[in-house]
Amino acid sequence: MAFAVIILFLAGVWGWMAGRNGDYRAVIASRAVGGVAYVVVWNAGIDIVSRSVEPSRRATAVGVFTASGPVGFALGQGMGPLVAAWFGWPAIFLAFNGIALVGLVLFWPTSRGLGHSSGDTPTLAEFRDVLRNKNVWLVGGLGFLGYSLYLFVNSWGASYLTQEVGLSLGLSGVLVAVFPAIGILARVSSGPLSDRLFSGRRQPIVFGSFFIAAPLVAGFTYLQSVTVLITMLLVAGFAIQLTLGLSFTYVRELVDPRVAATAVAFQTSVGLAGAFIAPIAGGAVVDIAGFDTAFLVAGGLAVLGVTLAWWAPEPAKQQVG
């Protein structure tokens, strides 16, 4: 964690210098390095939080941790333009990567003794077993679909409201911002719902998540009432992000604790793949066939999520490997 945060900060300094010098390629390269460091921080954070609580509260703790994602998005998107206006746009790299460094200073003395693993270092064979575990791939697929839906609506919802409904770009942006904002509540709620309401079961949460989201996403373009659209965004955003909050706990419980961090890293990778592909593919469908078809396709992904979630195992009832 410490090593990754330091790399993240150095990448910010690099990006700041490159931005001041007008070196576009170096700015992009610094973002790539920073992106790798960010993923390491995210995975290590989930693993440390998971190891720091007893299993009966694990999903709750990890859900609270993953809620930091929407909070960070809101902070970056809200404060970024202000920092750029005051100090110039390259300063955003120093400002926000510097926050991570301050976080490390606070984290280091309070985290000693947390997150230790027991036993010997996992073997290469045990790492390979994670990638051969069909249940890991199944939950990874749910994460891929969840992030795909999340980024598709987040990317193209405002364009639809502007071009088709006729709202101003500013108002459309505010309305669509409701979609990720509700994720703070959803991700915090996913753990207690699973740990308490469903007695530690994970499958009902992910199944209900996609079951609720499917008709809301598919039918999004067929309603013109702004009030109804806002309601749909709230409910769909909450449902989809229940899976995003729970999936990291879910996948690590499907493997041996010695390689749980590897399973979390795999989950992060496939989730980010969905987040990367969905806006691009969604834009292509919008260009070719229009918004109605694009949202129907997204709804089809949610239906696929319902199917996968139906077959998803409960960690306590399946065999590792």
Q: Which residues have CB under 8 Å from 191's CB, separation 6+?
A: 57, 58, 59, 60, 61, 62, 63, 64, 245, 246, 249
CATH architecture of 124-316: Up-down Bundle (1.20)
Q: Are 29 and 17 in contact (CB under 8 A)?
A: no
How confident is the model over 287-301, as pLDDT tens digits? 999 999 999 999 999
Compute the Cα dihedral for 250, 251, 252, 258 and give only its sign. positive
* Residue the block writes with tokens 């995975």: 43
pLDDT at 141: 94
Q: CA 95, CA 9: separation in Å to the nearest integer?
A: 10
φ/ψ of residue 168, rounded to 5: -70, 155
pLDDT at 121: 66
Amino acid identity at 185: L
How many helices and strands, by DSSP H and E, does the chain display? 13, 0
Q: CA 60, CA 248: separation in Å to the nearest integer?
A: 11
Closest C-alpha to 180, from 152, 140, 206: 152
Q: What is this structure's pTM?
A: 0.80
- Sites in the chain below the pLDDT cut of 50: 317-321
pLDDT at 90: 93
pLDDT at 321: 38
pLDDT at 37: 93
